[in-house]
């Protein structure tokens, strides 16, 4: 069984509605919506949603928000926990496919599937570890500059139809074995946003 956590911050209800449709699977046991904006209308909206637990939260960061749910979830039955963004959509049967893969590969601590944009373009969410140059170039230079460095960082040369052991899973969809979280620890809350996914990926990767 799979539990799910979604961190929101003034997120639209229409987006969340689409997100929950993706999670309409027998494999999903519990869904935690961690609301960093503490919205009364979101609280009310969640109240009649099956499997959904609403958790109001001070805006202490992305990883810290997910940790609120993960701490509740780890002692409960179930093998896996999915950390995901509210703007990710997929066919509900995908959850079962991923669960079956993880069941048959017990040494895999975390999985991220191939992702596509709404127009079908590849989304390069699995990446190499960023160097200082990668960070500097992506932040301060126009998109067309240093194309080779950018493409190496995004691992664009890899065949996305194959399975790879990737050094860095971007945090929009992280399907995690709960035992891996018990062994390595949860998100490091010193990171407010973005580097926490690199840190967790590397700690799981060591095992």
What is the residue extent of each domain of the chain?
A: 2-118+165-206
Task: Indicate if the pLDDT at residue 95 is higher than 90.
Answer: yes
Q: Following CA atoms 169, 173, 177, 179 in sequence, which dihedral angle do they give, to the nearest 10 degrees?
A: 80
Could you give the CA distance from residue 207 to residue 203 in angstroms, rounded to a whole number?
Answer: 7
Q: What is the CATH number of domain 2-118+165-206?
A: 3.90.550.10
Task: Indicate if the pLDDT at residue 144 is higher than 90.
Answer: no
Task: Indicate if the pLDDT at residue 207 is higher than 90.
Answer: no
Q: Could you tell me if 190 and 63 are in contact, meaning their C-beta atoms sit under 8 angstroms apart?
A: no
3 state SS of 89: coil
Q: Which residue has the higher pLDDT, 119 or 4?
A: 4
Confidence of residue 201 (pLDDT cuts 50, 70, 90): very high
């Amino acid at each position: 069984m799979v539990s799910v956590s979604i961190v929101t911050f003034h997120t639209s209800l229409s987006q969340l509605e689409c997100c929950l449709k993706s999670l309409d699977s027998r494999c999903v046991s519990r869904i935690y919506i961690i609301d960093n904006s503490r919205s009364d209308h979101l609280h009310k909206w969640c109240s009649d949603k099956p499997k959904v637990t609403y958790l109001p939260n001070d805006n202490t960061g992305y990883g810290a928000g997910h940790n609120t749910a993960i701490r509740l979830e780890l002692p409960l039955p179930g093998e896996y926990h999915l950390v995901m963004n509210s703007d990710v959509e997929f066919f509900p049967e995908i959850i079962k496919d991923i669960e079956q893969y993880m069941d048959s590969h017990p040494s895999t601590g975390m999985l991220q599937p191939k992702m596509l944009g709404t127009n079908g373009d590849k989304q390069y969410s699995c990446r190499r570890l960023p160097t200082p140059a990668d960070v500097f170039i992506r932040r301060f230079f126009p998109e067309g500059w240093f194309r080779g460095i950018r493409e190496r960082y995004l691992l664009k040369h890899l065949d996305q139809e194959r399975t790879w052991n990737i050094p860095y899973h971007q945090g929009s969809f992280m399907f995690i074995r709960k035992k891996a979280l018990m062994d390595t620890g949860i998100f490091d809350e010193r990171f407010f946003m973005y580097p926490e996914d690199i840190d967790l990926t590397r700690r799981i990767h060591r095992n």
